[in-house]
């Protein structure tokens, strides 16, 4: 197998083979450097995938800047079929930052989305943000009436909204 890293030291001596670690760490690594390396790498390593089934309302990345900024979130509905279909049915809502909380816009009344696409899309769970479900219910009924042949989002909610 070809070597990825140069196994010789600057003095021409052959270094012992420590596998990948030889490539990642400087030739002389102190215990303090190792502690810092572990401390800095741990948060990234522990960052878990969100448990999408733990909450029905999730924030999405905001759009725009300044006064044009829009807060966006999604509400997961109709989870009874999710284990068999693998699809989540969501509505996507938004509100301009300067607007009162009751002036909510339906960015997507219904969207069928895969779990992977949903996981790529959400930021954090929210405690509030649900609206009356009639708009979603009507859109879901239309999607089902089309023989479930409607579009299914497999990339991310933001990309599917842009279509």
Q: Residue 137, class by beta-carbon neighbours within 10 Å (0-12 exposed, 13-18 middle, 19+ buried)?
A: middle
Name 57's bridge partners.
75
Q: What is the pLDDT along the chain (163 residues), one digit of tens a residue?
A: 444 444 444 444 454 544 444 445 556 767 776 666 556 555 544 456 789 989 999 999 877 665 568 899 999 998 988 999 999 999 999 998 888 988 999 999 999 999 999 999 999 999 999 999 999 999 999 998 887 667 899 999 999 999 8
- Assess whether 61 and 81 both reside in one domain: yes
The reply to whether 74 and 147 lie within a common domain is yes
| Order of strands, sheet of 152-153, starting from the edge strand that comes earlier in the sequence | 57-63, 70-77, 87-96, 105-114, 152-153
Same domain, 88 and 118: yes
Do 26 and 103 lie in one domain? The reply is no
CA 64 to chain centre: 19
Whether residues 82 and 61 fall in one domain: yes
Residue 97 belongs to a domain with what CATH number? 3.90.70.190
38 and 56: one domain? no
pLDDT at 26: 58
Residues 119, 72, single domain; the answer is yes
Q: Which residue, among 44, 45, 58, has the nearest Cα to 117 in the 3D structure? A: 58
Q: What is the pLDDT of residue 49?
A: 76
Tokens 């979130």 sit on residue: 73
Going by their DSSP bridges, the two strands 105-114 and 152-153 should be labelled as parallel
HSE-CB at 103 with a 13 A cutoff on CA atoms is: 7
The rounded distance, in Å, linking the Cα atoms of 82 and 144 is: 14
Q: Say how many domains are in the chain.
A: 2
Residues 4 and 80 in one domain: no
Q: Checking phi first, is residue 129 left (phi over 0); if not, alpha (psi -120 to 50) or beta?
A: left
Residues 87 and 39 in one domain: no
Q: Do 57 and 114 fall within a single domain? A: yes
Same domain for 97 and 37, yes or no, is no
Give the pLDDT score at 9.
45
Q: What is the DSSP-derived secondary structure letter of residue 48? A: P
Domain encompassing residue 36:
1-47
Tokens 């052959």 map to which residue?
14
């Amino acid at each position: 197998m070809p070597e990825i890293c140069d196994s010789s030291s600057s003095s021409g001596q052959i270094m012992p083979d420590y596998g990948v670690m030889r490539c990642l760490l400087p030739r002389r690594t102190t215990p303090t450097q190792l502690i810092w390396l572990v401390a800095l790498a741990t948060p990234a390593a522990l960052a878990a995938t969100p448990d999408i089934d733990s909450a029905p309302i999730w924030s999405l990345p905001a759009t725009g800047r300044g006064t044009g900024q829009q807060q966006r979130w999604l509400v997961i509905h109709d989870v009874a079929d999710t284990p068999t279909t693998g699809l989540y049915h969501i509505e996507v809502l938004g509100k301009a930052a300067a607007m009162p909380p009751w002036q909510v816009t339906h960015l997507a009344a219904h969207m069928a989305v895969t779990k992977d696409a949903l996981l790529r899309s959400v930021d954090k769970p929210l405690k509030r943000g649900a609206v009356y479900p009639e708009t979603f219910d009507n859109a879901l009924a239309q999607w089902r009436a089309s023989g479930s042949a409607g579009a299914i989002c497999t990339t991310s909610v933001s990309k599917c909204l842009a279509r």
